[in-house]
Amino acid sequence: MAETRSTCPYCGVGCGVLIQSEGNRITGVRGDPDHPANFGRLCSKGSTLHLTATERVLRDERLLRPMLRPQRGGALQPLGWEGASALLADRIDAVLRDKGPQAIAFYLSGQLLTEDYAVFNKLARALVQTNNIDTNSRLCMSSAVAGYKQSLGADAPPACYEDLAHAGCLFIAGANSAWAHPVLFRRIEDARAANPRQKIVVVDPRRTETADEADLHLQLQPGTDVALFHAMLHVMVWEGWLDERFIAEHTGGFAALKSLVAAWTPREAARVCGLKAEQIEQAARWFALGGEGADVRAGGDETTPAARAPTLSLYCQGLNQSTSGTAKNSALINLHLATGQIGKPGAGPLSLTGQPNAMGGREAGGMATLLPGHRDPTDAAHRAEVAAIWGVDALPEQPGLSAVPMFEAAARGEIELLWIACTNPAQSLPDQALVRAALARCPFVVVQEAFARTETTGYADLLLPAATWGEKDGTVTNSERRISRVRAAVPAPGEARGDWQIAAEVARRLEAKLRPGAPSLFDYAGTEAVWNEHRQTTVGRDLDIGGLSWTVLDQRGPQQWPMAAGWSSGRVRLYQDGRFPTPDGRARFIAAPYKPVAEATNAQHPFALNTGRLRDQWHGMSRSGSVPALFAHAPQPALQLHPQDMARRGLREGELAELKSKRGSLVLPVAADTRVAPLQAFVPMHWGSQFVGGTDAKGQSRAGINGLMHGKSCPQSLQPELKHAAINIAPA
């Protein structure tokens, strides 16, 4: 038996795994005891990864060869890589000639490896000359990106996992880490066991399993986080808990924010958020002082910043998936800046990445609003820098389409060719009626996938079989900026190929048409060569990994960026010197007003619908759904509803209820759950139409829970509000 060191492909904790294999078969998996993210631990999903590579899965569930659907609604026919690559290059060339580059779009995934992102990005921008490249990370982390950039100057989580053990207070907002980031949650439990004085505050409309561990659970009304954070700052000002020296020396914009939060008394925020004023005051105290403070019990002066213990905040989709996503992120970062709770062990904001490599995708610039190396596509100098590295004259100036507008454009008939890789938008995007209409209308849909039967593969004109976990090499970055190697333990099954290799092959064929005789931009010697080109785009930037070759990664193990040339290790924490990557070196307070959710509940739609993860499933279940054991925890989807609401609606446990929004309906069994507040409802995000019944508003296509959600998005981050929609519920 051989063991290959790699990384778990599920969540953004980024646990190290050792893949056990015999010949060409993966036979087992165990946690890597030397990986600094997990030290050998794995959760239920990670520890069953080998069961996603059984002979049955490879035979029955994987996409094994390129397939063409000559006619919509017709059968798929195998055509081989030669034919598939040539056909796709021809189609791209034809669209470029007829309609131009804006008629082509790429929709990628936070589950791709950094090298996959890098090649797709270069193909889209340098060769096709379009910025229409976005990813499902838009649904995941784009509000965190926008929040970091506007408050701190760069998309860089400043803290790290080790800080869990140093913190006096853990402030967890909009994150059910116990289920969504289980191994990280074990570290929280360890930290608490080692330091019983550590306080945990959880902000969540549901009483989640994470909230069960909290000293204080703020069960606020959906979408009211900005009001809560402003009121906490109001209390900090009033009580004299600010770090005045830090504000004066390292920040700007506090006066405007102070003026804004003057109106946010705890009583006013309590009214808006559905909380008690005393709860808000308590949360403000623990945040500012780091729990009970380092020295207060020993008679220290709590108003002295030096007497305070550190506070670490952890947050995820509850803040990000919101029409106020960026404002929520910055309002939370305001609290860190106002109290000096940043840039020291145990302190700072730490966004928890949903996907395994949403961070790497941001670093490689694989989104419409980014360029490689945390550059900006609207900045001419940035475009010129990347063009020079890639060896082209210029990059496109016209802004690209982010996820929701990309599918809206396709629904209007403006996208002629849509290339989707490693993601399942016919289940995961909101407003499924529109998304499915877009896929049906787009003349040529390419789906590059490891699994044969996702919701989206049914819309594909061309299916390209991709290698997946255990079969491909590359790198990923986890939530604490730590870059780890992903390694192949076995060859890919059938004719499946690595994602970047598929993109590069099509690119080379397209080059022959668009740049005849010119040296290829895509002639990479291997995955490491792609990595080295990516590293080059980071040199001199905030995420400089000029010193992080694969040899260094092999010798010294996973490292946190930045790690410039000549450094012996990556940087554990950022901003310890109080300097931020802004033009004047100061962080910015953001005075964003509170705005309610986009779709208010009313008499016709009185329930606030929330969606999220279960402990043992992942996204649309294309991978985790192949493991029977992972259904033991929740064998089917259910509508979780407060017993009072069930009684009001005449529903009993297990009976079918119909959920209706303005966009569609769905029928689900109902389950009584006091974790959900009255007039709220929770449905897991994982099941698509193959498991649940329902129709859209036109009574046509069937979709999972995202058929009910709307596509309205945060104006800064363009991230849609997948955490809230107004619905009605009635017996089916």
Transcribe 314-373 into DSSP letters. EE-HHHHSSTTHHHHHHHHHHHHHHHT-SSSTT-EEEEPPSSTTHHHHHHTT-STT-BTT
Could you say whether residue 120 binds ligand SF4 (CB under 6 A)?
Answer: no
Shortest Cβ 327–ligand SF4 spacing (Å): 28
Where in 160-189 is the site for ligand SF4 (CB under 6 A)? 181-183
- Total residues contacting ligand SF4 by CB under 6 A comes to 14
Could you say whether residue 360 binds ligand SF4 (CB under 6 A)?
Answer: no
Shortest Cβ 186–ligand SF4 spacing (Å): 9
Could you say whether residue 19 binds ligand SF4 (CB under 6 A)?
Answer: no
Shortest Cβ 30–ligand SF4 spacing (Å): 11
Q: Starting from the edge strand earliest in sequence, which strands make up the sheet with 474-477, in order?
A: 474-477, 482-486, 559-560
Shortest Cβ 242–ligand SF4 spacing (Å): 36
Q: From residue 664 to residue 693, what is the string marking binding to ligand SF4 with x (rule CB under 6 A)?
A: ------------------------------
Task: Report the alpha-carbon distance of residue 88 to residue 131 in Å, rounded.
Answer: 19
Query: Which of the ranges 8-16, 428-436, 483-491, 641-649 carries the binding residues for ligand SF4, by CB under 6 A?
Result: 8-16
**How many other β-carbons are positioned within 10 Å of the β-carbon of residue 487?**
18
Shortest Cβ 185–ligand SF4 spacing (Å): 8
Torsion, Cα of 427, 429, 430, 435 (10° steps): -80
Shortest Cβ 35–ligand SF4 spacing (Å): 10
169-173 vs 199-203, strand pairing mode: parallel
Asked if residues 680 and 204 have their Cβ atoms less than 8 Å apart, the reply is no
When the beta carbons of 181 and 436 are compared against ligand SF4, the nearer one is 181
Among 18, 19, 29, 43, interactor with ligand SF4 by CB under 6 A: 43
Query: Which of the ranges 4-12, 62-70, 292-300, 493-501 carries the binding residues for ligand SF4, by CB under 6 A?
Result: 4-12
Residue by residue, what is the 3-state secondary structure of 391-451?
CCCCCCCCCCCCHHHHHHHHHCCCCCEEEEECCCHHHHCCCHHHHHHHHHHCCEEEEEECE
Asked if residues 361 and 108 have their Cβ atoms less than 8 Å apart, the reply is yes
Among 6, 32, 36, 45, interactor with ligand SF4 by CB under 6 A: 45
Query: Which of the ranges 11-19, 531-539, 660-668, 688-696 carries the binding residues for ligand SF4, by CB under 6 A?
Result: 11-19
Q: Which two tokens stand for residue 592?
A: 């964003």
Q: How many Cα atoms within 13 Å fall on the side-chain side of residue 51?
A: 12
Among 29, 42, 164, 672, interactor with ligand SF4 by CB under 6 A: 42
Could you say whether residue 10 binds ligand SF4 (CB under 6 A)?
Answer: yes
Shortest Cβ 310–ligand SF4 spacing (Å): 24
When the beta carbons of 450 and 729 are compared against ligand SF4, the nearer one is 450
Could you say whether residue 469 binds ligand SF4 (CB under 6 A)?
Answer: no
Backbone angles phi, psi at 718, to 5 degrees: 65, 20
Could you say whether residue 230 binds ligand SF4 (CB under 6 A)?
Answer: no
Task: Report the alpha-carbon distance of residue 101 to residue 715 in Å, rounded.
Answer: 25
Torsion, Cα of 652, 658, 661, 665 (10° steps): 150
Task: Report the alpha-carbon distance of residue 107 to residue 567 in Å, rounded.
Answer: 36
Task: Report the alpha-carbon distance of residue 313 to residue 696 in Å, rounded.
Answer: 39
Shortest Cβ 616–ligand SF4 spacing (Å): 10
When the beta carbons of 484 and 601 are compared against ligand SF4, the nearer one is 484
When the beta carbons of 18 and 510 are compared against ligand SF4, the nearer one is 18
Could you say whether residue 156 binds ligand SF4 (CB under 6 A)?
Answer: no
When the beta carbons of 45 and 234 are compared against ligand SF4, the nearer one is 45
Inter-axis angle of helices 403-411 and 432-441, nearest 10: 60
Could you say whether residue 13 binds ligand SF4 (CB under 6 A)?
Answer: yes
Could you say whether residue 718 binds ligand SF4 (CB under 6 A)?
Answer: no
What is the sign, positive or negative, of the torsion defined by CA atoms of 285, 290, 292, 293?
negative
Could you say whether residue 36 binds ligand SF4 (CB under 6 A)?
Answer: no
Backbone angles phi, psi at 179, to 5 degrees: -105, -40
Provide the binding-site residues for ligand SF4, judged by CB under 6 A: 8, 10-11, 13-15, 38, 42-43, 45-46, 181-183
